[in-house]
Amino acid sequence: ETAAAGNQRLYGVNTPAEVIDKYQPGGIIYFTAARGPDNVRNPRQIATLSNGLQAAATGLRQPIPLLISTDQEGGALVFRLGAPATAMPGNMALGAGRSAADAHRSAEVIGTELAAVGINQNYAPVADVNVNPANPVIGIRSVGEDPGLVSDLVAAQVGGYHDGGVAAVAKHFPGHGDTAVDSHFGLPEVTHTREQLEAIDLPPFQAAIDESVDTIMTAHVVLRSVDPSGAPATMSEPILTGLLREELDYDGLIVTDALDMGGATSTFPPDVAPVEAFKAGADQLVLAPQMDVAFHAVLGAVRSGEISTRRLDESVYRILRLKLKRGLFDDPQVDVELAEKTVGAPTHLEDAQVITDHTTTLVKNDAGRLPLTDDPRNVLVTGWGVTTTRTLGEAISRRGQTVTVLETGTTPSQARIDAAVAEAADSDLVVVSTTNAANVDVDTGLPTASAAAQRALVTALLATGKPVVVSGMRNPYDISRLTEAATYLATYGFTAASMESLARVLFGEVDPVGKLPVTIPRADGTGALYPFGHGLSYGG
């Protein structure tokens, strides 16, 4: 879709400048082509777009610069700027590394690269405490299950983003870590008591507030222990004003999660959701599904007195204060040439690799197979992920091995399993990647088709008698359904740096020092298979 076509479909005008002139928004969010025109193709294009948008905004009768935002969390799941931008580790990888200094530096690199292309507000860090292994939307986006660890690394990241030159956004308040429904598609309910909320969910947000976080993003979740009405937190005055503003004493910006998500659209129509979110205490309304409808609904609510001018002024003040803090009124323009040099700078890539080397976790090494000492000449890399298996295969081949890559997909067919088994027969070592192979259907409690097929692949490879190393590339819980595997590692992501680190660990070039930031439960629910903090190393 072209920019003109996308803008016509969404806003009824052709150019970005015309969008600014029509709505005079306080901010812009950049996305990839999944939501329309691709706003983030390369550093030069992004910086040029940012400069053009700021020029349009500051050329209006009331020249006010824009907050330009995106989601660049780190890791391989939620990011908008791909290569050449530096892929820093995701949150759960940082949780495995246990280093506040690494978390700070990771955020600082991301912030520096975003600021270079004119993005001044990053929707990160995720401050959710992932206490539910079945959480379909948070998972490795969270630091882990321990509120203290999450708090420490969230605070470090807030400081890192600030030092990198962007506004940090702690999300998703009041906590999205104990849900089994993805709020992109439905409305989850968090059943925590007030005591659980204060012990588990709130500490990371308090830590972010103590670090002077610029912004907090809401969650589309129901929390009846605070708001018995069942309204989503995004539209709940008891949660946003009562809990966040008054009890936690937070006076920074509150931004909604995207209002076009199922957790918002399933509850309120498009002319009601933005008004209710604003009345609840939100300052910024993000991605209303129908811009014209939302714009006129809020305008009408102000004109009718449903939203007081005093309440409106409070939000305007917070937004302007943040823009002043970020220096946008001085000069919102960026140097396009410098942007190209900053994004993906060699020092950033080096830091990403060093930090990632601190995160890989050796969970199981029962056969003592690792580190590899017998120099396997022929290695089969198989399992999930076209890019993942190829990148890992390239990393292993750089060590002098002959590598065969056979990607089997998220749900391996019997034909692909048979092909992998046939390739294994001629291999000295098999490395198989899995992704969310412990997932179960929320209705039946049985493994999903994908999880069952991945387990069948691993079982078939183990039956060959060849040495098999299993690596969980996403959530680390896969081993709970693959207990017959003697060797298992968790990488918490599948960036190129993650695959290089995995290869380094396999060949003993670095010690696996990562520790589990979550408990891995037994598949039958009878307790822990591996406890929080577990992790083997070669040093004993």
State how far Cα 251 lies from the chain centre.
25
The residue annotated as part of the active site, out of 184, 260, 271, 428, is 184
191, 262, 360, 446, 513 from 186: Cα distances, Å: 16, 5, 33, 21, 38
- Based on the residue annotation, tell me whether 184 is a catalytic residue of this protein: yes
Q: From residue 272, how far is each of 12, 292, 298 by CA, in Å?
A: 22, 13, 9
- Three-point CA angle 504, 493, 388, nearest 5°: 70
What three-state secondary structure class fits 346? helix
- The one-character DSSP state at 494 is -
Concerning whether 443 is annotated as a catalytic residue, the answer is no
The catalytically annotated residue of 152, 201, 227, 257 is 257
Residue 41 DSSP class: S
Cα→Cα distances 501→84, 89, 103, Å? 19, 11, 17
Q: Which of 28, 41, 126, 115 is nearest to 80 (CA)?
A: 41
Radius of gyration of the chain (CA): 24
427 in Cβ contact with 466 (< 8 Å): yes
Q: Side by side, which strands form the sheet with 253-255? A: 27-29, 67-70, 121-122, 167-173, 215-218, 253-255
What strands, in cross-sheet order, belong to the sheet with 378-383? 361-365, 487-490, 468-472, 429-434, 378-383, 402-407
364: Cα within 13 Å, side-chain hemisphere = 23
Instruction: Return the active site residues.
Output: 184, 257
